[in-house]
Structures are given as C-alpha cells and as structure tokens.
Amino acid sequence: MSWWLFFTVVMGLIPLVSSSHTLRIFIFANFLAIFAMSWDVLSGYTGYISFGHPFLIGIAGYTTAMLTHHLAVPLYVSIPIAVLATMVAGTLFFFPALRIRGTYFALVTLAFMEVTYHLMQVVKPEITGGTRGITGLPLLATGTVLNYYFSLMAMLVIAFGLWWLTRSDVGLVLSAIRMDEGAVKSAGLNTSKFKLFAFTLSAFVAGVGGAFYTHYLGSISPRGMFDINFLFTILVAALIGGEHTIVGPILGAYFLTFLLEYLRPYVPGAWRYLFYGLIALFIYNYAPKGLYQIVQTIGNFIERRILGKKQYGDQIT
Amino acid sequence: MATKLLEVNLLTKKFGGIFAVYELSFYVEQGESLGLIGPNGSGKTTTFNLIMRELKQDEGEIYFEGREISAYQTHERVKMGISRTYQIPRPFSELTVTENIRVGIIPDALRQTITSNRRYADESKIGASVGLTPNDLRMQPYGLSMGNLRRLELARTLATKPKLLLLDEVFAGLTVGEISELSELLKRKKAEGLTFIIVSHDLKTLAALVDRVVVVNFGQLIADGSFEDVITNRKVKEAYLGK
C-alpha cells in the first residue's frame, strides 16, 4: 500500500519538473497502461490470450465518438454508454471462451478486430466516418497538465481497483484457471462465471480507457484503433512489464512509451520496433516475469537492507 | 440396510469405434470403501471422468443420493458432495500449497470471493489432517515429494467437504513408507464416515482398505464382491494374467 502512495505522490509531482512534451509522453503511457492492465486482467490472469483488445477499445471509442459527433450527446452520458457497449462487446469475446482456448481463442479474438476494422469502413460510412474516421470530437480537458492529471487519475483508480481485486480470492481463482481450468472445476468452482467476470471487467477497463483516449485525441479512425501495431504495443507493454501482476503492465507501458519516444531521433521509422523487440527479448531472458520482477527485487533489497524489514523466508533469530 | 450413495447404471462411453466403458453398472453404499480395479486401459479413469462429468456419457445414468445427476456440470457435482483426485497430481503450479488448498475452500459465489480476506486457518487445519507440515504449506508444489503431492491432492478434495471421494491411483509412485502412511490416513477418513471409491494397482494395500471390489476389463464389469472372492475369480485371473 505504501508503494502506491509513494507512486501517486511522485507521479503527481511530475508536471512540476517536466516539459509539456514529456507530459504528453506520460499521457500516452498512462493510456497504454490502462489498455495493458485491461489485457492483463483477462489474458494475464486467466490465460485466455486476447489478440482483439483493440476491438474493445475501438468499440468504446467509436460509440462515444458517434454519440457526441452526430447526436451532440454530452460526454458524461456518451462515455458511460460507450463503456456499457464495450462490456456487451466483451461478452461476445466470452462465448468462444466457453469452448476454445489457447491459439484458437487468440485467433478468434483477432478476427473480431479485423472484421470490425473492415466493417467500420464500409457499413454506413456517413455514420462511422469511413476510412477517415471522425474528427473534431469534444475534448475531455484542455491543456497538457490537466490532461496529464486526468489520464493519471484514471490510470491510478483503475490500477488500484484491479490490484485490490486481484489480491482477493477472485485473483486466486483466475490465476488457477490459467494453470489448470479442469482442476478448478473439480474444486467445485463454476469457471464460466469467473471467466465472464474477468471478460466483463477487462472490457470495462478497455471501455473507460478507449473512451477517454478518444476524447483526449479528439479524433478516431479505423486504422488508428483496429491496428495490429496497436495490439502488439499493448501486448508487449503487458508482457515486458510482467503479466498477471497488474503493476507490471504499468511499468511496461511507461518503459515502452519512453523507449520508443527517445529512440525517435536516433532510429528512423519502424526500425525502432526492432530495438524494442531486442530489448524485450533481453528482459524475458534475464527476468522472465518482466520489469515487475526487477522492480520487486530492488524493492525487496531496499526493504530488507535499508529499511531493515523482515521478509518472508528470512530466518527468525 | 445401508443406502446407496452412488449408483451407475449401464454407463457407456465410446471413443471413436472403441468402447472405453460399456454398460457398466455398480454402486457404492454410504460409508463403504469400494475398490475399482482392472488392467491398464480397462476404463477405470474414464469411469471417474464420467462420474465427475469431465466426460459426458453416451448412454446410461448416474445416481447420487438417489438423484440422477447426468445433467449436472462438474462443479455442481462437487457441490453435491463428489470429489476426486487425479492419477497424475494436478496442483496449481504457481500457487503455494496453502493457496492450492484454498481453491477447494473458496465458495462458488463471486461476491463472497471478492470481499473475502484470506486468513488461511482452515487450510492449515486441512493440510495438517493429511500430514502436510507448516513448512510444506508455504512451499510451491514443485518442491514437494510425490507423497506430499498426493497429500495435497487429497487436501484439496477434502476442502470441498465431499461425501464421496474418488481416488485415482493414489499409491502410484510412492515409497513403501508413504503408501503405509497414506493408507492409514484413508482408514482414518473411512472411520470418520467418508465413502470412497479407490482405483489402484497395489492390490495388497487395497485388500486392507476396501470393503468390496469391482473389477472391470475392456470397460465391462467382470466381477463384484469381496476382495477374497474377486481375486480368485477365473475371469479376473484371465484379465490380469491371460488365459
């Protein structure tokens, strides 16, 4: 808990010492952290690997974009509707998960994303904006600092909520489902119910993130949302940070966003992705549980050696 | 007269063109311990899988406490009071032993699981009842011996508060000492009133543990009776040793 407080205070002070350019990177990192946590609570915990998270994020983005653009619905109404729509879309993900898992499930979710990408362009383009999407959407807040605090608050509330939830027995059951779903059923638990909870929760987080992100950018387009690169950025952020930890994806999101940004002047275009691929491989090799493992080791060291706290496994003398 | 806790009637399961279980009928009475034996591939584990609904039978009925349970899913059958262990232990590898046991205790109610706080008192009690030490409880399953893995399986099933336990090859891979300890433990559980069906190739240990034995071969029942009667049965001898 004290680490959360420390993190919140440090992040709250960032605008005092950062340029608006750096703050904008932080804003993107906060949104990526929300998306990566959404992925983590579903795929990291239950082991049902989603390749279709941009589908959920896009449903939220498009719902609020269309409502505000065409019907002039205020944000405080359009965003909750968008989140609800995403939760309904999340249950669409759930039905295949009743019968399939592993690679097959991942491919079905990928199909959700690809199909939606094409549908958004051809079905009623006067409503969806077609290939160009919709621009000129109302903004959540004006000014970089305000947007920073807004994104930070959303990220922290979601992070703390998920962290708290996954520390309860729900987290234990979802983790057990990842390890051996059959054995969880044999322990008398209805895994479908717990999976539905994880899917809906993940969709809720993706919905909140997607709607806020759309109104931060002020525009939305099919290529910007239902994109394979967007998907991989979310996946790598969650994996590089450390899956099924909730905290890991936040670390991964910050690391990845800043890495890509700081590589920009030195490495042109898509070559940057090669570098982050190599760095990801390096981290997996030496810390299979990602950055979370590294931070945890450092944290334990500080608590043990500097603060003098006893830890699990220490000899009691 | 003792009541039948579980009864299977003309149970049939086919994989492709092969009958894994064919018109199998047997029962176990309340408080009884039943041995289910047969050569490798005779359909013992498949029968357990059918009773637990990990596989769905093609034909036949399963009655538990007089109620036909074919329509019920695995978790519902566990809640009714049937629980099983696996031939190859299936612990949750990344959880501690205590957490493994906890999965069996957790109620199947979402709201309760969200608001619960883990105190682990019951886990320690159940762990101790099967012979797991406090040190074992803190470990992860990969650090356990086969004997302790079997104990963990047993603890997780006991955590579901079963009326009927299905024990699949519980003595496989254990040392003589571990077999003896586990056998004593099962005798104690039996004395406490637990009913169980036990699959084992260790007939010597089984003889001291069971009230009655059912023998299957090629998915069919070939003998049902006391251990002494069954072991001298001609069909049983042929199934194990050939003609």
For chain B, the domains span: 4-91+161-241
Residues A185, B106: C-beta atoms closer than 8 Å: no
| Res B119: pLDDT | 65
Q: Three-state SS for B38?
A: coil
| Res B118: pLDDT | 62
Per DSSP, chain A holds a count of helices (H) and strands (E) of: 15, 0
Residues A185, B93: C-beta atoms closer than 8 Å: no
pLDDT tens sequence across B174-188: 889 989 999 999 999
Contact residues, chain A, for B103 at CB < 8 Å: 172-173, 176, 183-184, 187, 189
Interface predicted TM-score (ipTM) of this complex, two decimals: 0.92
Best of A46, A178, A186 to mutate (most B CBs within 10 Å, chain B): A186
Q: Is the pLDDT of residue A190 over 90?
A: yes
Find out whether B84 and B52 touch, Cβ atoms under 8 Å.
yes
pLDDT tens sequence across A95-131: 888 888 889 999 999 999 999 999 988 888 888 888 8
Phi, psi of A313 (to 5 degrees): 100, -15
Find out whether B153 and B89 touch, Cβ atoms under 8 Å.
yes
Q: Tell me how far the alpha carbon of residue A157 is from its chain's centroid.
A: 13
Q: Which residue has the higher pLDDT, A309 or A215?
A: A215
A98 vs B: CB within 8 A: no
Sign of CA dihedral B67, B69, B72, B74: positive
| Res A95: pLDDT | 86
| Res B120: pLDDT | 67
Token pair 């069919």 is found at B220
Amino acid identity of B76?
E
Give residue A316's pLDDT band: very low, low, confident or very high (50, 70, 90).
Answer: very low
What would be the CATH architecture of the domain defined by B4-91+161-241? 3-Layer(aba) Sandwich (3.40)
| Res A311: pLDDT | 58
Best of B73, B106, B156 to mutate (most A CBs within 10 Å, chain A): B106
| Res A304: pLDDT | 81
pLDDT tens sequence across B44-53: 999 999 999 9
Distance CA B183, CA B172 (A): 12
**Contacts of residue A278, Cβ cutoff 8 Å, sequence gap at least 6:** none
Burial tier of B17 (Cβ tally within 10 Å: 0-12, 13-18, 19+)? exposed
Distance from CA of A296 to the nearest CA of B (A): 17
pLDDT tens sequence across B198-222: 999 888 899 989 999 999 999 999 9
Least trusted range by pLDDT, from A229-233, A240-244, A298-302: A298-302
Instruction: Please state, rounded to an integer, the average pLDDT across all residues of chain B.
Output: 91
> What mean pLDDT comes out for the span B8-18?
93
Find out whether A169 and B116 touch, Cβ atoms under 8 Å.
yes
Model pTM?
0.91
Contact residues, chain B, for A169 at CB < 8 Å: 102, 106, 112-114, 116, 118
The string over B186-221, giving b where at least 16 C-beta atoms fall within 10 Å of a residue's C-beta and e elsewhere, is beebbeeebbbbbbbebeebbeebbebbbbbbbbbb
Q: Is the pLDDT of residue A9 over 50?
A: yes
Distance CA A296, CA A299 (A): 5
Give residue A76's pLDDT band: very low, low, confident or very high (50, 70, 90).
Answer: very high
**What is the total residue count of chain A?**
317
B174 to A115, A131, A138, B179, B182: CA distances (angstroms): 54, 65, 69, 6, 9
Q: Which residue has the higher pLDDT, A308 or A40?
A: A40
| Res B111: pLDDT | 85
Give residue B54's pLDDT band: very low, low, confident or very high (50, 70, 90).
Answer: very high
For B:33-62, CB contacts with A below 8 A are: 52, 54
Give residue A317's pLDDT band: very low, low, confident or very high (50, 70, 90).
Answer: very low
For B:106-125, CB contacts with A below 8 A are: 106, 108, 110, 112-118
> What mean pLDDT comes out for the span A255-277?
83
Distance CA A58, CA A207 (A): 8
A169 vs B: CB within 8 A: yes
| Res B1: pLDDT | 55
Distance CA B74, CA B79 (A): 9
B148 to A238, B65, B87, B241: CA distances (angstroms): 35, 32, 14, 33
Q: What angle do CA A40, A102, A278 make, to 5 degrees?
A: 60
Tokens of B113: 């699981």
Kindly identify which residue of chain B lies nearest to residue A188, measuring between CA atoms: B75
> What mean pLDDT comes out for the span B187-202?
92
Say which of A170, A185, A186 has its CB closest to residue B114: A170
Tokens of B128: 């101790």
Amino acid identity of B38?
G
